[in-house]
Amino acid sequence: MLKKNKNSLFFFLVICFCFSFIKQDKPKRQVIKTKLDYFTTDNIGNIYTVKEDELIKYLASGKMFARYSNLKLGRIATVDATNPLKLLLYYRDFQQIVFLDNQLTTNSEPISLESLGYEQTDLVCAGANNSFWIYNKQNNELIRFNEVSKKIASTGNLKQILQADLKPNFMKEHNGYLFLNSPETGIYVFDIFGTFSKIISLKNLKQFEVNEDIIYYQKDSIYCSYNYKLFEEACKGLKGYKNASEAKYSNSRIYVGYKDSLVVY
């Protein structure tokens, strides 16, 4: 009982911290002027913005550090910065994965998922020990590959196994578990061997961040956190940020993205 009360207190304090900037008349903020379609961050505070085929890395100070673009592969569909020393870029239109180091330099050839036998891959994300996951739409299957692109785990056909009509739009690995988001049904959780663990009943999400037992996410003009072990949710309206395209909580900061800028609190 004492442990649960401590967890509840910690959860409450995190929520208070996350939204304290909203209550301040003049919150301390950092503005990065850049055009972007979306952005992400890593665990040491670096920021990555994406505009079509271009990736820009900013340091935690807001200073631009490097750019990367590959015109041959087109638009960057997703960026996974879970490992800041090995960023994963996915080019969905060409079914190609590119890995970059912390200088935004490529040290290997792109990985062609078509060459691996997977021609309808909707989602890709980074995994532990330089592995990566794909969600193959053709077989409704999650597959994990090691650093030399060898298949090391798979789930089988999830629609048959889970008896659910999955339409996933986002996935992320955290602390040895893969979180697969299907907006109409919730977040499905698997271990690193592809074994189904549970479903978290958070629906209609576009994406989210995971930190320990807490999931942070944006829904329209509100920002929420949910402790999926205590089943506790807390939300706060993003007043004054209705034009924001995206908001995230990471590294004890709030990041709010617009079409022409990124604001950090």
| pLDDT tens readout for residues 238-262 | 766 667 888 898 888 889 999 999 9
More confident residue, 119 or 5: 119
H/E run at residue 214: strand 214-219
Question: 249: Cβ–Cβ under 8 A, 6 or more apart, which residues?
Answer: 18, 209, 216, 223, 225, 255
Q: Do residues 166 and 181 lie in contact, with contact meaning Cβ atoms separated by under 8 Å?
A: no
Q: Look-up: residue for tokens 């960023």?
A: 87
The mean pLDDT value for 212-225 works out to: 90
Given pLDDT bands bounded at 50, 70 and 90, which one contains residue 3?
Answer: very low
Amino acid at 46: N
Closest CA to 169 of 150, 188, 151, 156: 188
The per-residue pLDDT for 18 is 52
Amino acid at 167: K
Q: Do residues 249 and 212 lie in contact, with contact meaning Cβ atoms separated by under 8 Å?
A: no
91-127 as b/e, with b when 16 or more CB fall inside 10 Å?
Answer: bbebbbbbbbebebeeeeebbebeebebeebbbbbbb
The per-residue pLDDT for 239 is 66
Given pLDDT bands bounded at 50, 70 and 90, which one contains residue 13?
Answer: very low
The mean pLDDT value for 96-102 works out to: 98
**Beta bridge partner(s), residue 111:** 97
Q: Do residues 226 and 236 lie in contact, with contact meaning Cβ atoms separated by under 8 Å?
A: no
The per-residue pLDDT for 148 is 96
The percentage of residues in the chain with a pLDDT greater than 90, rounded to a whole number, is 77
The per-residue pLDDT for 242 is 65
- The predicted model scores a pTM of 0.88
What the block records as the tokens of 115 is 């060459």
Region of poorest pLDDT, from 1-15, 22-36, 125-139, 231-245: 1-15
H/E run at residue 19: helix 2-23
